[in-house]
């Protein structure tokens, strides 16, 4: 997919910026947008020059105002005209969940810069990103109960892990829209910024990762923190930690990390995500759709 209709894609100085680009529709989510976002993530994972990915919304009103429910288009993630008898049919899959599963598999750190309204899938897709920043004008809403449906995008898995179960239950059951200050207090976002300072703050955070860390180490760390907290015993995490750090301690990155520390200079890590992931990766088995 070389060109995009519903997102913008830009890479500069090691940072990719992916912008949901339907400002006249408050960047409402469609099947096409989800497919384009997944394709863009394939590109960032394959590009060793990309060290971090920022997600933003076009315009000054919304990050994403949820699923496009406008009557003029049929390109929406649910309410298919076709009745599906077998719920194992891939056509029954939630399109928001397809995106969050792809976000979850990313090898690059993901930063959300929420500039305005983030409602429904516009809120839930951010849960699979690693760090969330928000404008002081941002508003969030897990509004599914107020639409007669239920949470999408695997939010039942992500939201309690991001903010804790009591807060997740309140926001998801009431379905109310809340402001940026409440999102900060509830642990949904890391920090609040004036609108014109939001993207610069996201870029500064991405820059800190790009300039100071080893890309393979970041990919491994991201997977370990997302996945290993769900293991049944710390011994299981210890097994993974031991194997990963054993391999990494003998890597060119580790030698450069130590040398740059003693020589008091910025590191230049040689290993690449595309070619130098250790042989213990992946240490998990990806479940299939059933």
* pLDDT, position 78: 53
- For 137-150, write each residue's pLDDT tens digit: 999 999 999 999 99
The CA distance from 100 to 119, in Å, is 15
CATH number of the domain residue 144 falls in: 3.90.226.10
Task: Note down the domain range covering 45.
Answer: 7-210
What mean pLDDT comes out for the span 55-70? 94
pTM here is 0.94
Binning pLDDT at 50, 70 and 90, where does residue 2 land?
low
**176, 210, 244: which is the final residue of a domain?**
210
Residue 81 has pLDDT above 60, yes or no: no
Burial of residue 41, with CB atoms counted within 10 A of its CB: 0-12 exposed, 13-18 middle, 19 or more buried: buried
- For 202-256, write each residue's pLDDT tens digit: 999 999 999 999 999 999 999 999 999 989 999 999 999 999 999 999 999 999 9
Between the alpha carbon of residue 105 and those of residues 38, 183, 213, 262, 271, the distances in Å are: 11, 25, 20, 35, 20
Tell me phi and psi for residue 203, to 5 degrees.
Answer: -65, -35
CA angle 134–138–139, rounded 5-degree value: 130
Residue 1 has pLDDT above 50, yes or no: no
Q: Are residues 193 and 234 in the same domain?
A: no
The CA distance from 40 to 21, in Å, is 13
- Name the nearest CA neighbour of 19 among 2, 42, 1, 36: 36
Residue 85 has pLDDT above 90, yes or no: no
Q: Taking the CB of residue 20, how many other CB atoms lie within 10 A of it?
A: 27
Whether 1 is in a domain gets the answer no
**178, 210, 242: which is the final residue of a domain?**
210
Whether 2 is in a domain gets the answer no
- Name the nearest CA neighbour of 134 among 186, 76, 71: 186
Q: Are residues 21 and 163 in the same domain?
A: yes
Q: What percent of the chain has pLDDT over 90?
A: 89
Q: Are residues 67 and 26 in the same domain?
A: yes
Q: Which helix (H) or strand (E) holds 183?
A: helix 180-185
CATH number of the domain residue 243 falls in: 1.10.12.10
The residue behind tokens 């913008």 is 8
- Name the nearest CA neighbour of 221 among 69, 118, 107: 107
Whether 84 is in a domain gets the answer yes
Q: Are residues 218 and 174 in the same domain?
A: no
Beta strand pairing call for 177-179 and 139-141: antiparallel
Binning pLDDT at 50, 70 and 90, where does residue 73 land?
very low
Residue 71 has pLDDT above 60, yes or no: no
- 258 or 290, which is more confident? 258
Residue 290 has pLDDT above 50, yes or no: yes
**210, 230, 248: which is the final residue of a domain?**
210
* pLDDT, position 86: 87
Contacts of 133 (CB under 8 A, 6+ apart): 111, 112, 113, 114, 189, 190, 191, 192, 193, 198, 201, 202, 205
Output the average pLDDT for the chain.
94
The domain total for the chain is 2
Sheet holding 15-20, edge to edge: 7-12, 15-20, 52-57, 110-114, 131-135, 191-193
Q: Are residues 127 and 202 in the same domain?
A: yes
Q: Using DSSP, state whether 51 is helix, strand or coil.
A: coil
Residue 169 has pLDDT above 70, yes or no: yes
Token couple for 235: 């011994």
Token couple for 200: 């610069």
């Amino acid at each position: 997919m070389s060109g995009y209709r519903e997102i913008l894609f830009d890479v500069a100085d090691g940072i990719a910026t992916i912008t949901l680009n339907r400002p006249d529709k408050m960047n409402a989510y469609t099947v096409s947008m989800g497919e384009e976002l997944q394709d863009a993530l394939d590109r960032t994972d394959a590009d060793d020059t990309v060290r971090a990915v920022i997600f933003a919304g076009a315009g000054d009103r919304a990050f994403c105002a949820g699923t496009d429910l406008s009557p003029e288009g049929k390109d929406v993630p649910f309410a298919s005209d076709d009745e599906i008898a077998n719920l194992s049919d891939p056509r029954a899959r939630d399109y928001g969940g397809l995106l969050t599963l792809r976000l979850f598999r990313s090898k690059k750190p993901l930063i959300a810069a929420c500039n305005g309204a983030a409602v429904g899938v516009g809120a839930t897709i951010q849960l699979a990103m690693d760090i969330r920043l928000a404008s002081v004008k941002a508003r969030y809403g897990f509004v599914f109960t107020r639409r007669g449906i239920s949470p999408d995008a695997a939010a039942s898995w992500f939201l309690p892990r991001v903010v804790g179960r009591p807060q997740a239950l309140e926001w998801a059951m009431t379905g109310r829209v809340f402001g940026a200050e409440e999102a900060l207090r509830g642990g949904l976002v890391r920090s609040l910024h004036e609108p014109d300072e939001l993207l610069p703050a996201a870029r500064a955070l991405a820059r800190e990762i790009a300039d100071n860390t080893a890309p393979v180490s970041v990919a491994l760390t991201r997977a370990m923190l997302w996945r290993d907290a769900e293991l049944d015993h710390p011994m299981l995490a210890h097994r993974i930690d031991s194997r990963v750090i054993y391999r990494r301690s003998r890597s060119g990155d580790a030698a450069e990390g130590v040398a740059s520390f003693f020589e008091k200079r910025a590191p230049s890590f040689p290993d690449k995500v595309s070619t130098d992931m250790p042989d213990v990766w992946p240490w998990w088995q990806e479940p299939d759709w059933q």
